[in-house]
């Protein structure tokens, strides 16, 4: 039998647990986002080719970060001047135009923990026919702040699987990795 007390022990334990949970939740939310600002040089030896002329010709990227606005000036070998993309990490919709194909895309950008996630969607006509775009990019900064890794995920359209002998064959998403090193100043 428990001794008689004016405040039951289970209520005290509940209050302590709820208080600790609130402190942990507040600590997790107040964690600062990684600062991606700086000039980044593509490390070709550690990066995978995507078979996309535009993406594969990137040589460097300069990021200016003032959350929620993030500006990325990307230098491509197939375009003489840097191409600037503006993103907003508060998940609002952004519109972008490919400087080579003219294809218009929409993007939504948000932080997922310590990763900046950009999700592009769109469609357009190319020399190969109508193209549907569904690409997710995840940018993650290394702990030492000197390496930026971009995971590129090409999401395959699920409503139009490839066919082998008229039998639908689903495809898995394609993933590529691009590695950038911080430029020395």
Query: What structural domains does the chain harbor?
Result: 38-182 (2.40.128.20)
DSSP 49: P
Look at residue 114 in the predicted model and tell me its pLDDT.
96
Q: CA triplet 71, 74, 77: central angle to 5 degrees?
A: 170
Q: What is the C-alpha to C-alpha distance for residues 72 and 100, in angstroms, rounded to an integer?
A: 17
Q: What is the C-alpha to C-alpha distance for residues 149 and 48, in angstroms, rounded to an integer?
A: 11
Look at residue 78 in the predicted model and tell me its pLDDT.
86
Look at residue 137 in the predicted model and tell me its pLDDT.
97
Q: Please provide the average confidence, as pLDDT, over all residues in the chain.
A: 83
- pLDDT, mean of each 10-residue run, the chain (185 residues): 59 61 52 93 96 91 97 93 95 87 89 97 73 90 97 78 59 91 90
The torsion angles phi and psi of 34, rounded to 5 degrees, stand at -60, 145
Span 102-119, pLDDT tens digits? 788 999 999 999 999 999
Look at residue 99 in the predicted model and tell me its pLDDT.
75
Look at residue 6 in the predicted model and tell me its pLDDT.
63
Query: Residues 68-106, buried b or exposed e (16+ Cβ, 10 A)?
Result: eebebbbbbeeeeeebebebbbeeeeeebeeeeeebebe
Q: What is the C-alpha to C-alpha distance for residues 114 and 31, in angstroms, rounded to an integer?
A: 9
Look at residue 98 in the predicted model and tell me its pLDDT.
77
Span 55-86, pLDDT tens digits? 999 999 999 999 999 999 999 998 889 999 99
Look at residue 13 in the predicted model and tell me its pLDDT.
62
CA 103 to each of CA 11, 23, 77, 121, 135: distance values in angstroms, whole numbers, following the listed order: 61, 47, 19, 11, 14
**In 37-173, beta strands by DSSP E:** 38-42, 58-66, 69-76, 83-88, 90-97, 104-112, 115-126, 129-141, 147-154, 162-164, 167-169
Terminal C-alpha separation, the chain: 71
- The pair of three-digit structure tokens given for residue 166, joined into one six-digit string: 């008229």
Q: What is the C-alpha to C-alpha distance for residues 146 and 169, in angstroms, rounded to an integer?
A: 41
């Amino acid at each position: 039998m428990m001794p008689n007390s004016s405040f039951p022990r289970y209520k005290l334990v509940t209050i302590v647990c709820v208080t600790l949970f609130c402190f942990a939740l507040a600590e997790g939310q107040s964690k600062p986002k990684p600062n991606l600002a700086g000039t980044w040089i593509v490390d070709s030896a550690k990066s995978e080719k995507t078979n996309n002329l535009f993406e594969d010709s990137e040589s460097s990227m300069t990021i200016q970060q003032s959350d929620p606005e993030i500006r990325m000036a990307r230098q491509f070998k197939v375009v003489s001047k840097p191409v600037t993309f503006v993103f907003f990490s508060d998940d609002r919709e952004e519109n972008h135009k490919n400087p080579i194909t003219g294809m218009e895309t929409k993007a939504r950008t948000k932080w997922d923990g310590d990763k900046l996630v950009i999700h592009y969607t769109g469609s357009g006509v190319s020399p190969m026919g109508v193209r549907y775009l569904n690409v997710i990019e995840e940018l993650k900064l290394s702990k030492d702040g000197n390496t930026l890794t971009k995971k590129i995920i090409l999401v395959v359209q699920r409503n139009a699987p490839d066919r082998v002998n008229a039998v639908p064959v689903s495809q898995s998403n394609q993933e590529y990795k691009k590695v950038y090193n911080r430029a020395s100043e």
